[in-house]
Chains A and B, each alone.
Chain A
Amino acid sequence: MTHRLLWLLVPVAAGLGYWTVPQAAALRTPASEAPPQEEKRITKWVRQLEHAGSDQLPELLDKYLAMEPGQDRDFALRLLCARWAEVDPKGALVAFTVTEVTPGLRWRLLTEWALLDSDAAWAAIAAGKDGDQDRAVVTEMLLHEDPDVFMGWFRKTKALTPDDDPAWLAVAERHGKELEEIAVALAREDADERLKSLVTLLARSRATKDPEAGLQWASQLDPKIRTRAMRAVLDEWSLKDPLEVWKRISGDEAEKLAEAAKLGFPFDSLRGKILKSLIKESPEAAMKLVLETGSPETRMYSGDAQTFKEAFGSALAAGKMKGIDAYRLISSAKGSDSSIGLNAFHNLWRGMSEENLEQTFREVIAEPAEQNKGTALGGIANAWAIKDPEAAFAFIAKIENPVMKAEAYAGCLREGNDGHVDPQRLAEIFGRIPESDRAMAFATEMSNYGEPEVGEDPMNSAAPRFHPELLAPLFANLPASEALKQSAAVLALRWGEEDPAAALAWAKNLDDPATRSAAYEHAVDGWAFHDPYAAGTWLSKQAKGPERDAATLPFIRHLSRSDASKAWEWTDSIGNPSLRMDARVSALREWASVDSAAAQSAYQEIAAKLPAADAAKLSSCFSAK
Chain B
Amino acid sequence: MKYLLPILASVATFFAVRHFRPNPELQDSPEQTAQRAELKGLARRVDRLGALESTSVAELEKLRRSGRATLQDLMWLLEQPGDGFEATWDWIEQAGYNESDRNLLRTALVSKWFDHDPDACLARIGACNYMDGSELAGRLLGRLFKGTPEQAEGVRKHLGLLVSLVGAVDSSLELPPGSPESAKTLLSLPEGAPRNTLLRFFAKSWLESDPAAAIAWLQQVPPEISTSALESFAEQMLNPYSTPTEAQRKLAADWLTTKAPKASLARLGPDLVASMAKSDPAGALAWAHKNLSAAPLAEATGKAIQQVLAKDSGEARRMVEELPPGNLRHLAAYKVAEAYLAENPADAVAWWLDQVDAKEKSIRGSFGAPERLGMKWSETQPDSFRARVANSSLPKLPESVLFSGINQLMKQDRAATFEWISSMSAKQRPELARAAYRSWSYDSPAEAAASFDSRPDLATGETAGQIASSWYSKDPQAALGWIANLPWGGPREAAMAKVKEIADFEVSLGGTFPEDLKKLLH
Name A's B-contacting residues (CB within 8 A): 2-3, 6-7, 9-14, 16-18, 20-21, 24-27, 30-35, 38-39, 42, 46, 49-50, 71, 74-75, 78-79, 81-83, 85-86, 112, 115-116, 141, 143-145, 163-170, 235, 239, 273, 276-277, 280, 296-297, 310, 313-314, 316-318, 336-337, 347, 350-353, 383, 386-387, 415-418, 420-422, 424-425, 428, 455, 457, 460, 467-469, 496-502, 526-534, 558-559, 561-563, 590, 593-594
Contact = CB atoms under 8 A, between A and B. Distances in A.
A18 B25 contact: no
Contacts of B15: 17
Q: Top 5 A-B pairs ranked by shortest CB distance?
A: A167-B67, A17-B17, A562-B325, A34-B53, A30-B47
A7 B43 CA distance: 46
Contact of A501 (B79, B125, B293, B328): B293
Contacts of B358: 561, 590, 593-594
A499 B127 contact: no
Contacts of A532: 324-326
Contacts of B129: 310, 418
A317 B126 contact: yes
A505 to B, nearest CB: 10
Interface of B: 2-3, 5-7, 9-11, 13-18, 21, 23-25, 27-28, 32, 36, 39-51, 53-54, 64-70, 76, 79, 86, 90, 93-94, 96-98, 119, 122-130, 133-134, 160-161, 164-165, 167-169, 192-193, 196-197, 224, 228, 261-263, 266-267, 293-298, 324-328, 357-360, 367, 473-476, 506, 511-512
Interface of B is mostly: helix
Nearest to A147: B67
B94 A277 contact: yes
A21 to B, nearest CB: 5
Given A10-B13, A13-B10, A16-B14, A500 B294 contact: yes
Given A457-B367, A499-B263, A27 B96 contact: no
B6 A9 contact: yes
B475 A417 contact: no
Nearest to A427: B193
Given A17-B17, A534-B293, A74 B167 contact: no
A500 B263 contact: no
Contacts of B360: 561
A17 B65 CA distance: 36
B498 to A, nearest CB: 16
Contacts of A421: 168
A145 B44 CA distance: 10
A144 to B, nearest CB: 5
B294 A499 contact: yes
Contacts of A85: 41
Given A26-B24, A166-B64, A469-B263, A318 B9 contact: no
19 contacts: A17-B16, A20-B18, A26-B25, A30-B50, A31-B47, A116-B40, A168-B67, A336-B511, A415-B164, A417-B164, A418-B129, A498-B295, A499-B293, A501-B262, A502-B263, A531-B327, A531-B328, A558-B326, A561-B357
Given A527-B293, A530-B294, A594-B358, A86 B475 contact: no
A534 B271 CA distance: 22
B123 A82 contact: no
Contact of A424 (B41, B193, B296): B193
A158 to B, nearest CB: 20
Contact of B297 (A352, A530, A559): A530
A75 B11 CA distance: 47
B391 to A, nearest CB: 23
Contacts of A526: 294-295
Contact of A144 (B70, B263, B296): B70
B367 A296 contact: no
A529 B326 contact: yes
Contacts of A10: 6, 9-10, 13
A170 B39 contact: no
A386 B93 CA distance: 25
Chain A CB count within 10 A is highest, among B36, B39, B65, for B65
A460 B365 CA distance: 13
Nearest to A273: B96
Contacts of B54: 33-35
Contacts of A498: 263, 266-267, 294-296
A70 B66 CA distance: 24
B126 A351 contact: yes
A7 B5 CA distance: 9
B67 A165 contact: yes
A561 B325 contact: yes
Chain B CB count within 10 A is highest, among A239, A422, A526, A533, for A422
Nearest to A538: B293
Contact of A416 (B40, B168, B296): B168
B293 A500 contact: yes
A111 B72 CA distance: 16
Nearest to B200: A424
A3 B2 contact: yes
A502 B296 CA distance: 14
B47 to A, nearest CB: 4
A3 B511 CA distance: 89
Nearest to A169: B67
A532 B266 CA distance: 18
Contacts of A81: 45
A467 to B, nearest CB: 7
Nearest to B16: A17
Given A33-B47, A34-B53, 11 more contacts: A3-B3, A30-B43, A42-B49, A166-B67, A297-B473, A314-B90, A351-B123, A499-B263, A501-B293, A559-B325, A590-B358
